Amino acid sequence: MTSIPKTVAGTRTPFLERIEGGGAEVTIDERLVAITDPQGAAAEQYRMLLHRLRYARSLRGAAQGGAVIAVTSAMREEGTSLTAANLALTAARAGDSRVALIDCDLRRGTQASLFGMGARMGLSDLLQGKCEIGEALGRFHEGQMAVIAAGKAPVEPAALLASPRFIAALQTLRSLFDEIVLDVPPALATADASIVAHRADGVVMVVRAEATPRDQVASAVRALSGAPVWGLVLNGVDPARVPRPLPVVKGQLTAGK
Ligand SMILES: Nc1ncnc2c1ncn2[C@@H]1O[C@H](COP(=O)(O)OP(=O)(O)OP(=O)(O)O)[C@@H](O)[C@H]1O
Ligand SMILES: [Mg+2]
């Protein structure tokens, strides 16, 4: 992924105009480049990631229901949440599947603020039996894209994620959506990551370019104790080192600058 602007200015897009049944218009974070800058180089990299993951899944044969992809990292602040959010939006924008993004970082989830969802029930509330899945699902774009926020931080996140309620919630999500993206806290800092990663069909590890030491990446993969790591995402690469996508003009690729 190339560099993403740091500012958190509110941006309105028709794609996420409002949460279904949620009333007020939603203001989303401009770092969701899959919709705020869909023709940019970073958005193109997310499309490459999406299609590589879809291909990786196709090689493994069709599982029952929607595919579950967990996005994690070794340490904090490597870009997991933005990668998960942009990956889910890229899949939803492609228009051929129903997509759910689930914030499994019950300690400090950020998806609610990235999507401007305000205070609503989230995954921790669902896992504690305080709400039903329908109340936790914030649905956008005629329900084609849905987000479950982390909810109120619980005392024992790992215990909640290891509970039968989490397995049941994933089963329901697999029946409702084609692609389910999990935003997972870092593997070296929490027990949560390994628990969640073992529930996924595939795991993607986000690595911060020129920041994450190699041995930490290797330790993080080991910490997932055999969960199916499909690959790494190198995040925060110098934009000068990433090729610009060719512009699409009237439906045809041109040899643009
Ligand atoms: N490609 C990028 N270019 C520039 N800044 C980025 C990039 N990716 C992430 N960041 C910045 O790094 C910070 C962490 O990003 P993000 O919240 O996605 O990471 P995280 O791994 O989920 O962090 P946490 O451990 O807090 O959950 C944010 O300030 C974000 O704007
Ligand atoms: Mg995060």
Q: Tell me the CA–centroid distance for residue 65 and ligand 1, in Å.
A: 31
Residue type at 77 in one-letter notation: E
Give the C-alpha separation, 256 to 251, whole Å.
14
| Architecture of the domain whose range is 12-238 | 3-Layer(aba) Sandwich (3.40)
Phi, psi dihedrals of residue 39, rounded to the nearest 5° = -95, 0
Residue 136's alpha-carbon distances to 23, 38, 74, in angstroms, are: 16, 28, 28
Q: Residue 210, SS3?
A: coil
Dihedral of CA atoms 138, 132, 157, 114 in degrees, nearest 10, equals 10
Report the residue among 3, 36, 82 best suited for mutation to probe ligand 1: largest number of ligand atoms under 8 A from its CB. Answer: 82
The residue to mutate among 46, 49, 81, having the most atoms of ligand 1 within 8 angstroms of its beta carbon, is 81
185 CA to middle of ligand 2, Å? 6
Domain ranges of the chain: 12-238
pLDDT tens-digit map of 137-169: 988 877 789 999 999 999 999 999 999 999 999
Residues with CB under 6 A from ligand 1: 1, 3-4, 6, 31, 73, 76-82, 105, 108, 110, 186, 235-236
254 or 111, greater pLDDT: 111
CA–CA dist 16, 101 (Å, integer): 14
Q: 66-83 in b/e burial notation, b at 16+ Cβ within 10 A?
A: bbbbbbbbbbeebbbbbb
Q: Report the separation in Å between the CA atom of 81 and the middle of ligand 1, taken as the mean of its atom positions.
A: 7
Q: What is the pTM of this model?
A: 0.89
Q: Which two tokens stand for residue 185?
A: 């806290």
> Which ligand 1 atom sits closest to the C-alpha of 84?
18
Residue-wise pLDDT for 13-56, tens only, equals: 555 655 555 555 566 788 999 988 888 889 999 999 999 999 99
- For ligand 1, atom 11, which residue shows the shortest CA distance? 79
- Distance between the two ends of the chain, CA-based, in angstroms? 20
